[in-house]
Structure 1
Amino acid sequence: MSSKMEIWLKCGKDSIQLPILPASYNVTRDAGHETVNVQNLGDVTILGKRGLSSIELESFFPNKDYSFAAYKKKQSPWEYVKKILSWQEKTLRLVATKTKINMQVVISSFSYGEEDGTGDIKYKLSLMEYRTPKYTKPKKKKTSKTAASTTKKNIKQGTKRETSKTKAKVHVVSGNDTLWSISKKYYGTGSYANKIYEANKTIIERTAVKHGFRSSANKGVNGWWIFDGERLVIP
């Protein structure tokens, strides 16, 4: 068994071990207390139940073997990126051996990019503890047929109004646009690049083929090739 700490992310039967350990990590847990002002007493604290823990990991995915790596290079840096992007809407388990960290989490944010020309991909991964919500189904209230009919009618009318007011954002590709930069523009982070790709998969793949490519993918990342004039829906 390894004498060094290992950090694992597990999603069902799939998993990855971080190849380069972060220099450090920080775990934050909100207390959930509340401060209120009471007449004649001033501020008082109302004790609350514990909040959710969060943890931030910052390191890089190596493009070559390094002597300080947790294990020899098994795949390209982009394979790690692709897998983490595919896990953004799933619950994961974070395990750090040699510590007490073993908890169910979700991805709060994931940013990545190349900086020094080595091919290594630096990243920052923010994780939030996931606690399964408990839900008690409310008892049904008896309503008259007239009231039920009126409610359904109002819901349909409200839905039509909302639909007519809501217009999807459209981005026209130009210059040095990438899905990562487009995601950064509209969401403040590049971690939604894969979400934009999935929403525009048909047009992105069709345009890539028209330009002589087999697909839009490069280095295992879908949507790598996009072209001026493409109109992409921002979901």
Structure 2
Amino acid sequence: MASILSFLNQAVDSIISSGSGLNTGCKLVLSCAGESVTFPVSPPSFKVSNAYNNSTINVNSLGDINMLGKRGLTTIKFSSFFPAQAYDDIVNTTPDSPYSYVEKINSFAQKGQPCKLAI
């Protein structure tokens, strides 16, 4: 499972980071409760991580034993910026104010509902 996620991570990373400009045709859309934010600038890269809640216990006369745990949450990390003016490499032709993006993302976090990230 980890090798498939690693492959997908590398494939999407190469698609996003290829080309001379920032906009390579990829769009990142964060949606929550019927509202959405399309990031105006594609991030140059991102990282997907999966947590596995394994633990190690020590048993007398056997030593350390790895106890397999359940899979934890998947996390994704990326960085981008919200431009204050229009550039050639922007995904949206008419970007909103940088502060409006931040306000909308903060409102998603406070809603207490699951969000969806589409790439």
The letter for the 2-side match of 1:14 is E
**Alignment gaps of 5+ in structure 1:** 97-235
What SS does structure 2 have at the residue aligned with 1:85? helix
Contact 2:86-2:95 at 8 Å conserved across structures:
no
Report the TM-score when normalising by structure 2: 0.73
- Let me know the Cα RMSD of the aligned residues: 1.4
Contact 2:27-2:39 at 8 Å conserved across structures:
yes
What SS does structure 1 have at the residue aligned with 2:49? strand
Task: State how many pairs are aligned.
Answer: 94
**2:34 aligned with 1:13:** yes
Give the structure 1 partner of residue 96 of structure 2. 75
**2:92 aligned with 1:92:** no
Tell me the CA shift for residue 69 of structure 1.
1.2
Aligned residues with identical type, % of pairs = 35
Tell me the CA shift for residue 73 of structure 1.
2.7
Give the structure 2 partner of residue 51 of structure 1. 72
What SS does structure 1 have at the residue aligned with 2:80? strand
Whole-angstrom CA distance in 2 between matches of 1:11 and 1:52 = 18
Give the structure 2 partner of residue 65 of structure 1. 86
Q: After the TM superposition, which segments of 4 or more aligned residues of structure 1 sit over 6 Å from their partners? A: none
**Alignment gaps of 5+ in structure 2:** 1-23
Report the TM-score when normalising by structure 1: 0.38
Query: Alignment partner for residue 56 of structure 2, among 25, 28, 35?
Result: 35
Whole-angstrom CA distance in 2 between matches of 1:17 and 1:58 = 14
